Structure 1
Amino acid sequence: MSNPLLERWDGPFGAPPFDRIEARHFLPALDVVIEKHEAEIEAIAGTTDVPSFDNVVAAIERSGTALARARRVFWTLSSAQADENLRAIEPEVSARLTRHATRIDHDPRLFARVAAVWQAREDLGPEERRLVENSYRGFVAGGALLDPTAKARFAEIDIRLGELSVRFGHNVMAANADWSLLLTEDDLAGLPEAIRSAASRRAEQAGSRGYRFTLDRGDVEDFLSFSERRDLREQVWRAFTSRCDGGAHDNWPIIDEIVALRHERARLLGFATYAEAKLEDSMARSPDAAMALLERVWTSAREQALREKAELDALAGFVIEAWDWRFYAEQQRREHLALDGGAVKQHLTLDKVRSAAFECAGRLYGLRFSARSDIPGWHPDVRAWAVSDDQGDVGLLYTDYIARPEKHGGAWMGSLRVQEQIDGPVLPIIYTVTNFAKLDAGTRLSLDEARTLFHEFGHALHALLSRVTYPSLAGTAVARDFVEFPSKFMEHWILSPEILGEFGVPSELIEAIARAEQADQGFATVELAGASIVDLDIHNQTSGSTDVRNIERATLHRIGMPDAIGIRHRLPHFTHVFDGGYAAAYYSYLWSEVLDADAFSAFEDAGLFDPVMAGRFRQEILARGDTRDAMASFVAFRGREPNEHFLLRARGLEDTPAA
């Protein structure tokens, strides 16, 4: 059988031939590429040559190229185009990859050679030393120092965690797919035309008449913001927040087992909690430091949120509930801030917002984006863009913006190939994925959705503009609480009067957006910080308790979570934490926002598109990858360590009195 995953890809940029790749190709391909990688590792581990950087660590970097290629294509499709055939093999793929990675981590010969190079690392250059230190820490974190019995249990845990993560994600997708709300014209009071049109199109695609609403986050937030039907708002809110909380797709048993296994895994490595193990190599360094930031922000945010609630209660004429907040906040923005979210949406078409992101990258970093219709994507909605600058090709970018049942919810960026130049230049192949409701070429976005597009584009720029030697250090392969910095940073440009003016947004609406930026920040910060605190709490239990539902409940009671807000993600559908890389690290969004707010203040002083400032940001932040400590990169750009003052100012919390 011809297998495109095993062939040479000779098309433009060496891009994957997505038009020929099918689910049936993956398991046979994995057999071949895993065997090849095992032979490469055996050659490194089994030699009697004196260990050196070149014959050990650099050799490991050169190995596994074919495996990485197949693995990245699979995870791209399983998250963005997961048909039933892909979902069926995902547990097996996860198990095979985990077993293979564990065999490498637990090979005592290989680790001994890495350790020998690590012992002599002071003789290496800065990038090579960083790579050796990362490699050594990676082996230790993978269980290399454990005795044989502990290694066997460690391997069992990792395989089981992979299985549970897949099941968790499948449950969330299934719960989303199983629920929809079909309405008639009489039920649509308050909903703008753009939202009605999208709902009508969804109903038509589902073979129904009327207006269909789903549990996609953007769809839910639109409905909660504009629908005048309080009973329907409650119905949508309860469906969204109770996903996988019992029923056919119950994720609580999976969560309990995941948290228990993560705790056991951390204890095997000598840590008291999973959070301690996870944050050892982060900027925060410890759960206590991360929690300290969250609690400082929480105190001010909660007080502000309670004041916001009192104002909304007065506007509504009754004590509002969680399904009322967004609706009355939207009314308040219209009445007091002259900001009409529906009017803003009329100006923010998908094509215009994407073009604005590309233009900003051009003005900041000299990048150009050219559509490539000759490069197939994994779905007709996917578009490919050749990225270049005055020096030549920079890389390839895929954009996949439209919601569909085969996609996971939310938004993310990924890599099909990372930048490197260990044996000559290798250009990155990057993609961004969102879930916007499709209308036509004029698909309209809310301001938050436009911000999401810019956010994921910021991740893409981080990967595209990487300029490192070794693939393991490239692009977004940085500390978890640093990786959100370039993406949060990029969000500022979609909110700038200059960019909004280019969409044709009237000046009075631009001024209203600026006024509204600090409105409702108590709500937004409480949502985010609350979810982050819960995440840290459940992963920082020294007892290894498996009663996670009660830990969530106790944490929300301890911090005084307002019932009318709630956390941004309930645990049963918190894919960032249970089907992603943010376990014990969801705080990273706020931590990165400290960096982002501080860095952007430099652009506020110098100019939004100041070439000197942009060049420094590109050189010291985007290009560096993980070639040095994340704090060193920030200091190299800013001249000092970050200051929380800029975050509090940006969120309008600076002068809020403590509780």
Structure 2
Amino acid sequence: MNDHLTNALLRPWDGPLGAPPFALVRAEDFLPALKVAAAWHRAEVTRIAEQAETPTFENTIAALERSGEALGRVRRLFWTLSSAHAAAGIRAIEAEVSALLSAHSTVINHNAALAKRIAAVHASRHDAGLTPAQVRLVESSYAGARRSGAALGAEHKERFAAIQSRLSDLSVKFGHNVLAATADWILDLGEDDLAGLPPSQRDAAAARAAAAGAPGRFHVTLDRTDYESFLSFSTRRDLREKLWRAFTGRCNGGEHDNWPIIAEILALRHERAILLGYADHAHYALEDSMAHTPAAALALLEQLWEPGKRRAAEEAAELQALIDAEGGAFTLAAWDWRFYAEQVRRSRYALDGAAVAKHLRLDAVRQAAFDTAARLYGLSFTRREDIPGYHPDVWAWEVRDKATGPVGLLFTDYLARPEKHGGAWMGTLRVQEAMDGEVLPVVYLVANFAGAPPPDTGATRLSIDEARTLFHEFGHALHGLLSRVTYPSQSGTAVARDFVEFPSKLMENWIVSKEVLSGFGVPETLIEAIRNALSYGQGFATTELIGCSLIDLAIHTCEQASADPRAFVDSELERLGMPPAVGLRHRLPYFTHIFDGGYASAYYSYAWSETLDADAFEAFAASGDIFDARLAERFRKEILSVGDTRDPMESFHAFLDRAPDPEALMRARNLIDV
């Protein structure tokens, strides 16, 4: 039943706009399909590596780009489901799938004949009449082979393969622990425990409890959106503390303890870096980034750290004064910060977060994102009810350019479910490329907004921060959808880690603009309050973000960190002077970005990309029209469409005719006087 003739996963996707056959997907088909597809890929690579012809771009690099199409298709589909719809059958095989793919990748990368051909093409790349994009692809292919251990001796290759396999296994275990710890805990409340909560959160908590067989009760989860909303509005300090301790204590011991996994991951990453000739994992990870070195990344973070702490101290003093004025006999704690910051926003800026959420219905914010893309890039989004998703909450949208026609397919998946990983992200099921004719992209967006299905009802309301998250991920989607490159490895978001967040961060600016907010029926006074309040709380926001980035770099540049990572982090936080009432946005035991994702040593990327974003949006604002057609066209042409066909700094320079202004982020975060 699972051979290649009957396994639906191995057949090309022939759904409308290249949609995957979600209705035919069965968990038990993945391992057989991946094994067959991996064998096909190895055979393709063997033919490329062992051919008699002199190595050229076309018969080696381009041939590699064409290889492994079936494997890539099945692999992307599996990881989509494992993160967004991880049913028991998927979770049960995730470790085996990860090990299989890791081993397969190592076999390909350690093919000596293939490495020799890639090196030969690399040596002659400037004399072969190649385009700049082709030269860049050759260089990235050569660097990728070297960074994957292709140049190592036999003994070191064996150890490298063992490290890769173990890291793959540990990453899966880390993610499973976070998912389990998050799903296993519920704050069960009664009617008397809901003081201060907005109606939207009450309704969502009631719906969750009813679904769990507890009608009349209210369930608050450890999903970040639920957590942050409760800490912002609940007047029950004891419950805020209980939720905070549960959220920040995940995987910090007990059944789902991630500290031993963290220690082993750090040690193996360091060993791998040394094997490859790097000083540490951070130098290995950042070699192909915009920053290039940990020192350059650290310079940006240090520029923000002290001003952020000073502003956070000012904010803390103000919040403590508010507590004292109310007669509270306690010192500001981490579970108090968001609640009292919300009070400041209400009193100083007349900003009522609950009042804002009344206007920000999920369906309306989603439509506002579509409308913004229409005004900037001439795109349209049409619901395709004939294209099923992997869950009833997942909707398909046909994306078209009003001038040129089809652009791609977008799936949206916005509501929280127990089987989803936390947070929000964009992914790609099929990348845009044009090697043998135009292939349109298929991308998807995932979030964990607390609400009730279906996602078009007015029952699901978003905070302004959640609305920014939706726009942020939509910015990633546009980066994937508007890609127009030839080679799949250079497509869409396949750019430097510290550049990939630039289009997404930039997109956030429109949801907080007067032009967009007015479309929700938000009163002008409330719009003004939102705009004025944007600069407030930047000390807290900067410190919790930059603190994570500094810790990420520290643990990946110090070999001793793996001996006792918990003690190392505590020592670093003390050295940095991290305000205890702020703390890290992501504590290490649930920091999936760096232990079950691609941001190890690169969490600073958010700040780096935000610098580019702040500078770029200043240009839109300075034009007098944030929908300026000329700037939007340049951004699409020079940033969104070019993928990794050139150095990202060249792309930024092509967009604004200059290098980025390093002080733009300081101005945007209100950390310097303007």
TM-score normalised according to structure 1 size: 0.99
Residue 87 (structure 1) aligns with: 91
CA distance in 1 between partners of 2:663 and 2:598 (Å)? 28
Residue 392 (structure 1) aligns with: 405
SS in 1 for 2:448: strand
Map 1:131-530; keep pairs closer than 5 Å.
Answer: 131-209=137-215, 210-317=217-324, 318-389=330-401, 390-440=403-453, 441-442=457-458, 443-530=460-547
Does the 8 Å CA contact 1:330/1:341 hold for their aligned counterparts?
Answer: yes
Q: 1:70 is matched by which residue type in structure 2?
A: V
CA distance in 1 between partners of 2:467 and 2:398 (Å)? 22
Deviation of the 1:461 alpha carbon: 0.2
2:131 paired with 1:125: yes
SS in 1 for 2:369: helix
Deviation of the 1:15 alpha carbon: 1.1
CA distance in 1 between partners of 2:232 and 2:35 (Å)? 50
Does the 8 Å CA contact 1:264/1:544 hold for their aligned counterparts?
Answer: no
Can you list the C-alpha shifts for 1:312-371, whole angstroms capped at 9, x where unaligned?
000011421000000000011111110000000000000000000000000000000010
Deviation of the 1:523 alpha carbon: 0.3
Specify which of 571, 583, 603 is matched with residue 588 of structure 2.
571
CA distance in 1 between partners of 2:485 and 2:353 (Å)? 42
Deviation of the 1:187 alpha carbon: 0.8
CA distance in 1 between partners of 2:112 and 2:304 (Å)? 45
SS in 1 for 2:444: strand
Cα RMSD, aligned residues only: 0.9
CA distance in 2 between partners of 1:298 and 1:492 (Å)? 23
Map 1:25-104; keep pairs closer than 5 Å.
Answer: 25-104=29-108
Can you list the C-alpha shifts for 1:143-188, whole angstroms capped at 9, x where unaligned?
0110000000000000000000000000000001110011111111
SS in 2 for 1:293: helix
Can you list the C-alpha shifts for 1:266-305, whole angstroms capped at 9, x where unaligned?
0000011100000011111111110111011011000000
Can you list the C-alpha shifts for 1:223-251, whole angstroms capped at 9, x where unaligned?
10011110100000000001000011000
CA distance in 2 between partners of 1:506 and 1:439 (Å)? 26
Can you list the C-alpha shifts for 1:360-383, whole angstroms capped at 9, x where unaligned?
000000000010011110000000
Specify which of 603, 618, 641 is matched with residue 636 of structure 2.
618
Does the 8 Å CA contact 2:639/2:652 hold for their aligned counterparts?
Answer: yes
Deviation of the 1:125 alpha carbon: 1.3
Distance 1:368-1:433 versus aligned 2 partners, 3 A rule? same
Deviation of the 1:205 alpha carbon: 0.7
CA distance in 1 between partners of 2:219 and 2:190 (Å)? 9
Q: 1:407 is matched by which residue type in structure 2?
A: K
CA distance in 1 between partners of 2:365 and 2:561 (Å)? 46
Can you list the C-alpha shifts for 1:391-420, whole angstroms capped at 9, x where unaligned?
110000000000001100000000000000
CA distance in 2 between partners of 1:543 and 1:139 (Å)? 29
Residue 17 (structure 1) aligns with: 21
Deviation of the 1:555 alpha carbon: 1.2
Residue 630 (structure 1) aligns with: 648
SS in 2 for 1:388: strand
Can you list the C-alpha shifts for 1:493-526, whole angstroms capped at 9, x where unaligned?
0000010000000000000001110001000000
CA distance in 2 between partners of 1:303 and 1:222 (Å)? 26
SS in 2 for 1:653: coil
SS in 2 for 1:212: strand
Does the 8 Å CA contact 1:259/1:538 hold for their aligned counterparts?
Answer: yes
How many residues align structurally? 656
Q: 1:193 is matched by which residue type in structure 2?
A: P
2:113 paired with 1:113: no
CA distance in 2 between partners of 1:544 and 1:524 (Å)? 26
CA distance in 2 between partners of 1:281 and 1:559 (Å)? 28
Residue 562 (structure 1) aligns with: 579
Q: 1:29 is matched by which residue type in structure 2?
A: A
CA distance in 2 between partners of 1:194 and 1:423 (Å)? 49
Q: 2:440 is matched by which residue type in structure 1?
A: L
2:608 paired with 1:591: yes
Deviation of the 1:543 alpha carbon: 4.5
- Farther-moved stretch of structure 1 (433-442 vs 480-489): 433-442
CA distance in 2 between partners of 1:9 and 1:649 (Å)? 48
Does the 8 Å CA contact 1:45/1:109 hold for their aligned counterparts?
Answer: yes
CA distance in 2 between partners of 1:579 and 1:19 (Å)? 28
Q: 2:297 is matched by which residue type in structure 1?
A: A
Deviation of the 1:546 alpha carbon: 2.6
Q: 1:10 is matched by which residue type in structure 2?
A: D
- Farther-moved stretch of structure 1 (44-53 vs 3-12): 3-12
Does the 8 Å CA contact 1:384/1:397 hold for their aligned counterparts?
Answer: yes
Does the 8 Å CA contact 1:454/1:491 hold for their aligned counterparts?
Answer: yes
2:669 paired with 1:651: yes
SS in 1 for 2:23: coil
CA distance in 2 between partners of 1:502 and 1:361 (Å)? 15
CA distance in 2 between partners of 1:36 and 1:187 (Å)? 58
Can you list the C-alpha shifts for 1:414-445, whole angstroms capped at 9, x where unaligned?
00000000111000000010000113511100
Q: Any gaps of 5 or more consecutive residues in structure 2?
A: 325-329
Does the 8 Å CA contact 2:95/2:169 hold for their aligned counterparts?
Answer: yes
Deviation of the 1:542 alpha carbon: 4.0
Deviation of the 1:62 alpha carbon: 0.4
Does the 8 Å CA contact 1:263/1:544 hold for their aligned counterparts?
Answer: no
Does the 8 Å CA contact 1:198/1:437 hold for their aligned counterparts?
Answer: yes
Q: Any gaps of 5 or more consecutive residues in structure 1?
A: none
SS in 1 for 2:408: strand
Deviation of the 1:43 alpha carbon: 0.6
Distance 1:58-1:637 versus aligned 2 partners, 3 A rule? same
- Farther-moved stretch of structure 1 (484-493 vs 120-129): 120-129
CA distance in 2 between partners of 1:149 and 1:444 (Å)? 57
Distance 1:449-1:319 versus aligned 2 partners, 3 A rule? same
Q: 1:495 is matched by which residue type in structure 2?
A: V
SS in 1 for 2:418: coil
Does the 8 Å CA contact 1:272/1:542 hold for their aligned counterparts?
Answer: no
Q: 2:476 is matched by which residue type in structure 1?
A: H
Distance 1:402-1:493 versus aligned 2 partners, 3 A rule? same
- Farther-moved stretch of structure 1 (435-444 vs 259-268): 435-444
Q: 2:18 is matched by which residue type in structure 1?
A: G
Does the 8 Å CA contact 1:462/1:475 hold for their aligned counterparts?
Answer: yes
Deviation of the 1:388 alpha carbon: 0.5
SS in 2 for 1:19: helix
Residue 327 (structure 2) aligns with: none
